[in-house]
């Protein structure tokens, strides 16, 4: 998963991270350990200026203003606003 983050950052792509309630219920400790690793890598990329986080609404607004655009370095990760 962290390789996917780094690839999205290097290409200026969107990286969409999501989960479902049943994922949490099936192995909460494993899921949260994995998320910790992902969030640490995201924080490193964000601090380096390579990624930012956006909501789905942010992405919708951005791509509504820029139809046909396939890359957006300033909108690299979808998630909760920090």
Contacts of 65 (CB under 8 A, 6+ apart): none
Mean pLDDT of the 68-82 span? 51
Structure confidence at residue 81 as a pLDDT band (50, 70, 90): very low
- What is the per-residue pLDDT for 79? 40
Q: How is the chain split into domains, by residue range?
A: 2-78
DSSP string, 31-75: HHHHHHHHHHHHHHHHHTTS--EE-HHHHHHHHHHSTT----GGG
3-state secondary structure of 30: helix
pLDDT band per the 50, 70, 90 thresholds, residue 45: very high
**What global pTM score does this model have?**
0.73
| Region label for 56, one of left (φ > 0), alpha (ψ between -120 and 50) or beta (otherwise) | alpha
């Amino acid at each position: 998963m962290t390789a996917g983050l780094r690839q999205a950052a290097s290409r200026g792509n969107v990286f969409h991270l999501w989960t479902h309630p049943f994922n949490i219920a099936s192995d909460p400790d494993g899921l949260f350990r994995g998320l910790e690793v992902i969030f640490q890598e995201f924080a490193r990329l964000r601090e380096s200026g390579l990624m930012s986080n956006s909501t789905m609404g942010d992405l919708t607004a951005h791509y509504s203003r820029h139809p046909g655009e396939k890359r957006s370095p300033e909108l690299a990760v979808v998630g909760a606003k920090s």
